[in-house]
Structure 1
Amino acid sequence: MSKNTPAEDVPVRRIDRILAFMSLGLLALSIVSFFAIMIASASGADMSTGIWPLVGVLVYIAPVIAFAMILAVLIMSFARRARANRGG
């Protein structure tokens, strides 16, 4: 029979949910931006004016920020579980 550890009773905090959903949103925004750039390029839009430079940078920056957020969630989760397993 397995031992019941306190780590099973550790609740999910609000900041964990916020970071997880923000990272998911950034990844979705990056994918939508990528397809918008592909469609606009195929239709002959001028990619050097308007909002297109911002959309182009978003495709590069958003996945990196989302990855950092997921790492932060994982590190906070592991630290919280370790603290709960120690009993402190």
Structure 2
Amino acid sequence: MARGTAVPLNRTERIAAFVLGAIAAITVVDLIVLLVGRGAGANVSQGVWPVIAVLPAIGIPLLLVALVVFIVLMGLRSRRLAAGDARR
């Protein structure tokens, strides 16, 4: 393979990237909704607000774990390509 040639992501890397993006999007939207709700004076101790308040505490660590997994997958692929193993 020529140097500088882009290598497409394999299926596992695409799934990891999608999970990473989905967790990030849900967490950011949840944080925005929580901030707007608190700013509007909503009682965040009743209804669905406790669930909305807890989601970032779950989403951010999951996001970090998914990011580490994605980086490891990319490193493994790079190592395999450098070694000449064309396994996909």
Residue 17 of structure 1 pairs with residue 14 of structure 2: yes
Question: TM-score normalized by structure 2?
Answer: 0.77
Identity %: 25
Partner residue, 1:75: 72
> Counterparts in 2 of 1:7-46, with a 5 A limit?
8=5, 10-46=7-43
> Counterparts in 2 of 1:43-58, with a 5 A limit?
43-58=40-55
> How far is the alpha carbon of 1:36 from its aligned partner?
1.0
- 1:19-69 Cα offsets, whole Å, 9 max, x none, are 112211211211111111111112221211221111111112212211211
| Residues 10, 84 of structure 1: 8 Å contact kept | no
Structure 2: distance between partners of 1:29 and 1:49:
21
Decide which structure has greater helix share: 1
Gaps of 5+ in 1: none
Cα RMSD (Å)? 2.3
Gaps of 5+ in 2: none
One-letter amino acid matched to 2:37: A
After TM superposition, which residue ranges in structure 1, 4 or more long, deviate above 4 angstroms?
A: 7-10
Residue 61 of structure 1 pairs with residue 58 of structure 2: yes
| Larger RCO: 1 or 2 (CA < 8 Å, sep 6+) | 1
